[in-house]
Structure formats: C-alpha cells, structure tokens
Structure 1
Amino acid sequence: MTPTSSPSPRLWTRSFTVYWLAGLQSVFGNALTSVVVAVLVYGLTGQASAMGLTLALGMLPALLSPFAGVVVDRVPVRPLLIAGDVLRGLLVLGLALGLMNGQVSIFWLNSAVLLSGLITAFTSPASSTLLPQLVPAEHLARANGLMGMGIQSAQLAGLFLGAGLVTLLGQASTLLLDAATFLISAGALLLVRLPSRVKAPVKEGFWTAFRAGFQVLARHPGFAMIPVLAFVLNIAFAPMQMLLPEHLAGFGLPERFYGVALGTVMGGMLAGSLSVTALGQRFRPQLALPLGLLSGSLSLAVMAQSPYVELFYAALATLGLGVALTNTAISYLGQTLIPEEFRGRVFGLISAGSQAGMPLAMILLGPAADAYGSRPLWSTGAAVMLLSTCAWLYLGTQAGRGARPTSIT
C-alpha cells in the first residue's frame, strides 16, 4: 500500500508536539511507578534480592518483542499505543485501589510488573516505528534527539520527584497520579494524525513473517549486528549498576551520592541528545554509533582505574553521552535503512537483545562482583565494548565495499 499523504515539512506540527508531550507523560508515569514499587517491595519483603526479582520480571516479557513486532507491522500503530497507555493506567489504578484497601501483596506487585512488561513488549517496537510517519526525513535526526531529551528529562524528573511525592502524598495517592498520567497520554494520542503506512500483509503466515524480519537484517550486515550488540552492551553495563554503590563507598562517599552518580549519567545522556538535536541534518549515525561505543569503553576504563572522584564523575557523564549517541544512531539507522513494513520486527529484535542482556548479566556476574569488586569487571566491560566497536567498524567496511548506497558504510 502506498502512503496517501506525507508529513508536513515543519518539525513542530501538532501531531509531533502532542506525541512528544504524550511520551513525556508516559515516561514520567513509569518513573513514578518504579519508585513506589521499589518502596513497596522492600517494605513487604525487607530483602534487596526481592527487588531484583521484580526488576527481572519486568524485563522478561521483552524477549517476546520479536514476536510482538510481527503484530506491530500488521496493525495500525496509534490504537496499539493508546491501548498500551490505557492498560498501564488501569494496572496502576488497580494497585492504588488495592493499596488503599490494604490488599497489595508481593504476588500482586510482581504480577502487575510482569503485565506492564508484556504491554511494553508491544508498545516499544510500535513507538520506534512511529517517528518517520510524524516528521519529514530532513528533520528525523533532530526529532530523535528531541525524543531522547524528553524521555531522559521525564525519567530524571520522575525519579527525583517520586520520593518527594511518596512522602508528601503517600504511596496510594502517588499511584493515582501515575495512573492519571497514562490516561492523559492515551487521550492525547487521539489527537495525533498519521499518514497511511506500508504494512506487512495480514494473510502472510505468522512464522513466515517472523523469519522475514531476520532476512531483512541479513541484507544489511552492519545493522544485523545491532541486536547482538544491544545484548553484549547491556551485559557490559550491568556491572556498572551493580557495583556503583560499593565503588562510591571506596571514595568515602555516603549512600546518597548513588543518586548523584545516576543523575550524572543522565546528564551526559541529555547532553548527547541535545548534541544530536543541534546537529539536525548534519548528524551522521555511522560515525555517532562507533563514537558512542568508544566513549562508553573509555569511560568504563577510567571508572575502573581512576583514584580521583572528580575524574570518576567526568567518566560517568561521558558514559551517558556515549549511550545517548549510540541509542540515537541505532534508532535513526533503523528508521532509515529498514523498510517500513519490517520495522516492528527489527526493533522488536533489538528490544529483546537489549532487555535480555541486563538480567542475565546480573545473575551470572553477581558472584564475580562479590568476589572481585568493580575494577576488574568494569575493565572487562570496557574491553568488551572496545571489541564491539572494532567489530561494528569491520562489518561496516565490508558492507561498504560492494553495497548499495543505502547500506551502512
């Protein structure tokens, strides 16, 4: 099917503005939920390991994202996103009402987190396919940068305000506010207008459509590495999150500096997204991706070896910058290289690789973290990221020797 209309030549159209603001609402709501759930889980169990199980349950459904991508490529995207926000709003509302009646248990919390993760398995690839329909090609890089800035700002606001809101309003009232953000986001998406898009044929067999996603990736050797790269990078980053409190204690810093450290990483990510937004059409994803990987590798190496806390925090900011450049480059390449009717499946594969790496690494590397500490694990993560950078550059070079002009070079 050929699109019947095209996006406006302006970036800040009503549809893009509404979609951007709706995305901020959802992300802010997710951040609020994560704060309340963490407090509830620890309050009910008194065990830090219980929070690890809850986090893993939230990530587990992402393994279904490649299958969800088959559905995303066949159905209209906007109703899918609206349904996702409504369902998440109802889930949080149910938790709030249960909390008011004293009926919240760890089973109920974990079930809600698992269901929310299942919804995200569908909405994540759907969101990734939507942006090229909202903005013209010449504004796509800037739009990706703006989306990154908005998401990171909303996450930061939600995490920092969450604790204050729980103290001020209480857990149940904070969850009611969170539910409202999802429902407002769903209502806002009703105002978003989209042109017709090319969709995968519904009559095509499910498994045939599923395999077609891998076949499309095989046409772009460099981009085919992205799902594997997402898996490897999350394994490399997992020790950073696990060992950050212990490493900060080694500098003689109290526990509250853990939040400052995470905020520093988020600040670096904001700077990266701002850079992409400022570059606009001059943004080069083929350069930004290896540059982001190299920044992450050097940052982990400095974090592992530096005896100076100032240099350590500078490395955290650089790590965030590298993450933003890498993520934005991956999104932009997927939106421009992959045919429209296959993007749901391809982004589903990337989401599955990204989400699977983190919980697996936490399980496998937990004993090593206890035994060896931060320095050797962060050094190993730096080496893994450096090897990934070299592999990406090699595959890109090989693809560029005989590839079509649209291939990764």
Structure 2
Amino acid sequence: MAAATAEARPLPLRRQRAFVLLCGEQIAGSVGRQVTALAVALLAVTDLGTGPFGAAAVLALTYLPGALLSPFAGVLVDRVRLRRLLVVVTAAQALVVGSVPLVNTLGGVGRPQLYGVAVVSGALTFTLSVALQTALPRVVAPDRLLSANSALTGARTAGLIGGPALGGVLVGILGPAPALLAGSAAYAVEALLLLALPAALNDPAEPRGAQSPASLLRTGLEVLRGEPRLRLMVLAGAGLNLGSGASGALLVFYATRDLALSAWQLGISYAVHSAATLAGVGVAGRFARTAGLWSATRICALLAGGAVFLIPAASLGPAFELLLGYQACYGLAVTVWAISMTTLQQLVTPDGMRGRVAGFVQAALLGTVPVGALAGGALAAGIGNVPVLLGSAVVALLAAASLWTPGVSRPAAVAARTPEPGSSAPR
C-alpha cells in the first residue's frame, strides 16, 4: 500500500525537469532585461542627452509593441510549435541587444537606433511573456499553478537582485553601451535553456487551419469579456499601469537630475525592489490561499497604488531613503498582486485558449504604460517632475481602488480548482 501511494504521489516541482528549466530561464532572462533596461535608460540620459520626454519615449517604445501586438502574439502562440517559438524569440533578443555595443564600437549609437532597439526588444519580450504564460499550465498541474507561479517569480527575482547591481557596476566601469554585452549574453543563455524543454511543447494548442486568425481573436476576447473578475482586474490593472507608467518613465531622469542620485544608488534602489519582490514571493502563496486569490489581488493592488506616492515625497525628505521605501513597498505588493492575478487568469481560461487570453490581457495592461509614459514626459517638460509624479500616484491609487467594486461573484471554475484556505500548499 505504501509503495502504491508513493507511486501515485506527484513529483515535487523542484524535481520536474521542465519546471526547473523554466526557473533557470527566468533567472537568465531577468538578468538580461534588468541590465538592458538600466543601460539603455542611462545611455539615453547621459550619453545622448535626452530630456524628460526623450527618456519617457524610450520606455514608451519598449511597451508599445506589447500593447499593439500581444493579441496577435497570443494567436501565434496557440497555433505554432511553442518550444521553437520560445527559442527563436530569445535568440533574436540576444542579437538585437548585442547590436548596440557593436555599433558603438563602429562609430557611436544614435537615437534612431536606440529607439529601434527599444521597439524590437519590446516586441520580443512581450511575445515571450505570452508564450511562457501558455507553457506553464502545460507542464504543471492546475492545483500547483499558484505554487509554480510563486516559484517562477522567485527565480526571476534571483536575477532581478543581481541584475540592476551588475548593470550599475558595468555602466560605471565600461559605459552604458558596452554594458549591454552582458544583457545579450544572458539572453543567449536563456535561449539554450528553453531549447532543452520537452519536445511535447511543440504540439500546437490549436490545430492549424481549424479557425481563421480573426475567429481565434474573437474567441479569446469572448473569454475575457465573459469572466467578470478577470475583466475587472484588467481594467483596474490598466489604470494602475497608467499611473505607474508615468512615474516609471520619469524615475531615472527625476532621480539623476532632481534628486542628484548616482548610478550606484539607482542600482541599489532597483536591487531593493528585487529583494522586496523575493519577500512577496515568500508570502504570496500562503496569503492567496488564506485570503483567496481575489482578495489578495484587491488588497495588494491598493497597497501598490499607495506606494507610488513615495516617489514625489522623495523631493521633500531624504531622497535616497524614500526612494528605497517606494521600491520596497511597491515591490512587495505588486508581486503578490501579479502572482494572484496570473494564477486566476490561468485557472479560468479553457485549455487551448491561454495564448489568446494572455495576449488580450497583456495588451490591455501594457497599452496604458506608453500612454502614461509619453503623457508624463510631455507634462513634466512643461510643469516639472514633481506635480506629474503626484498626479500619477493619484491615478494609480484610484485605479487600484476600483477593484473593490461590489457585486462580483466568485467564479465556479476558480472555486473548484483553487486550494481552500487552510489546506496544505502544493509542493
């Protein structure tokens, strides 16, 4: 009997090869993204001399492809060989980011190339995001999705903790453009890890020719519109990103010009954000199982929106300490919010449609980021950084508060598949 029980017991996540590979991919990818983001932002501000609108434009162009192309990326993810797509996207990312230090050695990087890299890199990043959200439920059982999403966020945070600090050191020693070689190398490692995923992931979720792309888009949108909580989370998340997008676009410019913080202080602040993210990973599973996915999402969104007020407050008090406080509070709250929301989305989405639904959700959440970034940059050029940052915080908090709209019932699909409060956590 004991032998039969042992055979029936599923393997722990840490012993499932495909899941371990995804964790490794998250570490490598997060290092690449953090080094790239910091180096590109500092390259625009310090080497190319861009103002607040130019700095905001870099962030906006990074997010814009995700806002426009994510639904089509979802259709692609559901219809093509998933492992092959993951490898091609990450390999292309390594080449795109590596083009900056290459051109820099040949005569210098100009704004057109920097903006072009931001656009292409953004398109690849968000295509990969949709594909990975689709891949996880294909390698992990439904009752383990909450633990798996928490573990993947933890793996990603391991790279986030070292990535900003590494980026700051490399920028300080080599300069922004050469530092991007480290980002390119991290993306190459990510591609190799994805290549080792099971070949079964190459079976398309949706048979080719079964429906037209337009029909596939409609069915994905119908799922999103038919699930009340998912619809409300998307709308609130879009508003939260509108406010945080404006403040995030101005953060490097505001910190370096208004607060006179150095590159190493910026790197440390981002590392604190990563450490707070790791703390969020540690509490997300237990908190979501105790309070429920929906309650965890609402509470943490409200905390994240409130934390944005610490950015403009840095102009009135100890700047570095308040900026660290923002990174700590926002990192913790937004991590639990993201894990709870992603798990809920994966649980309520029918098999074979996760790419399309994830694409629409991502497009809705990302669409407001470039709008907020560009609007924040344009307004800051006219009225200053602090008033815009304060207004951004108000928008973020009001959007998060909209999640408390009464009358949304608990979906039956989630009730059936989410661990009940007090139950043992999936391993």
TM-score, normalising length: structure 2: 0.80
For 2:299, which of 291, 303, 310 is the aligned residue? Answer: 291
Corresponding residue number in structure 1 for 2:206:
200
For 2:161, which of 141, 156, 164 is the aligned residue? Answer: 156
Q: Deviations over 1:89-126 (max 9, x none)?
A: 12233333322322643322322222212222321211
Letter in 1 for 2:114: L
Letter in 2 for 1:206: P
Corresponding residue number in structure 2 for 1:3:
none
How large is the RMSD of aligned CA atoms in angstroms? 3.5
Whether the aligned pair in 1 keeps the contact of 2:82 and 2:135 (CA below 8 Å) is yes
The reply on whether 1:56 has 2:60 as its aligned counterpart is yes
TM-superposed deviation, 1:384: 4.2
Q: Which moved more, 1:49-58 or 1:64-73?
A: 49-58
Corresponding residue number in structure 2 for 1:125:
130
The percent of aligned pairs where both chains have the same amino acid is 26
TM-superposed deviation, 1:320: 2.1
The count of aligned residue pairs is: 399
Corresponding residue number in structure 1 for 2:13:
11
Corresponding residue number in structure 2 for 1:77:
82
Q: How far apart are the structure 1 equivalents of 2:44 and 2:253?
A: 22
The reply on whether 1:185 has 2:185 as its aligned counterpart is no
Q: Deviations over 1:120-175 (max 9, x none)?
A: 23212111112222223333212211222222332332221113224445666543
Q: How far apart are the structure 1 equivalents of 2:118 and 2:253?
A: 28
Map 1:185-334 onto structure 2 (within 5 A). Answer: 185-193=190-198, 195=200, 199-203=205-209, 204-241=211-248, 254-256=260-262, 257-277=265-285, 284-300=292-308, 309=318, 314=325, 316-334=327-345
Map 1:320-399 onto structure 2 (within 5 A). Answer: 320-366=331-377, 368-369=379-380, 371=383, 374=386, 378=390, 381=392, 384-394=395-405, 397-399=407-409
Whether the aligned pair in 2 keeps the contact of 1:303 and 1:316 (CA below 8 Å) is no
Q: Which moved more, 1:16-25 or 1:263-272?
A: 263-272
Name structure 1 gaps, 5 residues minimum: 1-5
Letter in 1 for 2:122: G
Query: Which secondary structure state, in structure 2, belongs to the residue aligned with residue 341 of structure 1?
Result: coil
Name structure 2 gaps, 5 residues minimum: 1-7, 419-427
Corresponding residue number in structure 1 for 2:101:
96
Q: How far apart are the structure 1 equivalents of 2:170 and 2:323?
A: 31
Q: 1:243 to 1:178 in 2, by over 3 A?
A: closer
Corresponding residue number in structure 1 for 2:425:
none
Corresponding residue number in structure 2 for 1:175:
180
Whether the aligned pair in 2 keeps the contact of 1:337 and 1:407 (CA below 8 Å) is no
Q: 1:181 to 1:316 in 2, by over 3 A?
A: closer
Q: How far apart are the structure 2 equivalents of 1:175 and 1:311?
A: 29
Letter in 1 for 2:33: N
